[in-house]
Amino acid sequence: MQRTGSAHWEGDLKTGKGLVSTQSGILDDAQYGFGTRFEDGPGTNPEELIGAAHAGCFSMALSMILGQHDLTATAIDTTAKVTLEEVDGGFAVTKIHLDVVADIPGASDAAFKEATEAAKTGCPISKLMTADITMTATLK
């Protein structure tokens, strides 16, 4: 399986502008640029897209792992906070923190902790990351 995303950029770093799109069309020429990445300008940026991808991947992985233990979540809400920092004269994503709140009828705290840890290390987007991945997980 392969999926594609694309970007178009025009101009220099600070005043230039770009558009990102996805194969599915969910993002279709979504605006991004210096202002959306380093300031509060309108549009998206690579870090929030990584955060959404990581949160979605983690939630699906957790659902799969729960199913292997005959558990089904009523709800899994995951937020991924992506940290972009200056490192050695350049920028790098250094940390991602997953904040997970889940409602899983019949799940014990121990089973929940084991499943969330497995999802954190096992989801394909986590495996892609070299950043430090931390997590806070709350079972309702």
What ranges in 27-108 are assigned the alpha helix state H?
Answer: 34-38, 46-67
C-alpha span between 81 and 69 (Å, rounded): 28
CATH classification of 46-139, choosing from 3.40.309.10, 3.30.300.20, 3.40.50.300, 2.40.160.50? 3.30.300.20
**Burial (0-12, 13-18, 19+ Cβ within 10 Å), 75:** exposed
- Domain boundary assignment for the chain: 5-38, 46-139
The pLDDT tens digits for 12-25 are 999 999 999 999 99
Q: Counting Cβ atoms within 10 Å, is residue 90 exposed (0-12), middle (13-18) or buried (19+)?
A: exposed
**Please, which pLDDT band fits residue 130 given cuts at 50, 70 and 90?**
confident
Give the chain's mean pLDDT: 95
What's the rounded Cα separation, in Å, for the pair 35 and 33?
Answer: 5
pTM score of the predicted model: 0.91
Check if the beta carbon of residue 117 is closer than 8 Å to that of residue 126: no
Report, in angstroms and rounded to the nearest whole number, the Rg of the chain calculated over CA atoms: 17
User: Angle CA(24)–CA(27)–CA(30) in degrees, nearest 5?
Assistant: 155
Residue 57 pLDDT > 90: yes
